[in-house]
Amino acid sequence: MTEPILVKKRGRPAKIPHHHPDTREALIRGGTAILTEQGFTASGIDGILKRVGVPKGSFYYYFASKEAFVREIIDYYGRYFVRKLDKFLLDETRLPLARIQAFVDDAARGMAKYEFKRGCLVGNLGQEIGVLPDSYRQQLSAILADWQQRLAHCLQLARGAGQLGPQADCDALAEYFWIGWEGAVMRARLANSERPLACFAQGFLAGLPR
């Protein structure tokens, strides 16, 4: 079946048709943007629909509830962030530790692009875990474990390349990184500056066992 063609008209942007194939993706993208800024509690469905420009009927056609919607957003964000991590941590044109620094530099540019209004979705929701549905805890923990495993692999490569000492516990170091990283992102938003990210990365890399 051929997808409908959206014709641009003058004036206000046209709303996405009720069951257009792009509607679900637009809702998830819009919801992700708002949740990275406001978190779960402060984010309302009406605000997301207004930003995306779709009627409420479209939302409930694709998602049974706000809880189900945010589960989809968490999955979407996890996949997005993995692609970003792999772009840097698997970059064979750089030495392993330089890949970590490149990831940090890119994250700093990304936060500056949005004037430090957006944080890490996983970190934002983690701070609200006491009021979130129980299903989110396992979902968020699994994403963090995946990020940790990917960074541990990069650190193992660094150890194999002689950038780290043979005694380096790469799994423990990766866990330490993500615990500190989420705090650095929160501090960067508070300070409206990339300096906390740079400060944390400098301290982490300088403290690695050689």
CATH superfamily of 74-206: Tetracycline Repressor, domain 2 (1.10.357.10)
The domain segmentation of the chain, as residue ranges, is 74-206
Model pLDDT for residues 155-193, shown as the tens digit of each residue? 999 999 999 999 999 999 999 999 999 999 999 999 999
pLDDT at 202: 98
Decide if pLDDT at 149 tops 90: yes
Average the pLDDT over 56-83 and give the result. Answer: 93
pLDDT at 52: 85
Contact 69, 123 (CB under 8 A): no
Decide if pLDDT at 4 tops 50: no
Q: Please give the share of the chain, as a percent, with pLDDT higher than 90.
A: 75
Q: What angle do CA 32, 121, 104 make, to 5 degrees?
A: 115
Contact 63, 76 (CB under 8 A): no
Give the end-to-end CA distance of the chain in Å, rounded to a whole number: 60
Average the pLDDT over 47-66 and give the result. Answer: 88
The residue ranking higher by pLDDT, 56 or 157, is 157
Q: How many CB atoms lie within 10 A of CB 118?
A: 20
Model pLDDT for residues 111-143, shown as the tens digit of each residue? 999 999 999 999 999 999 998 988 899 999 999
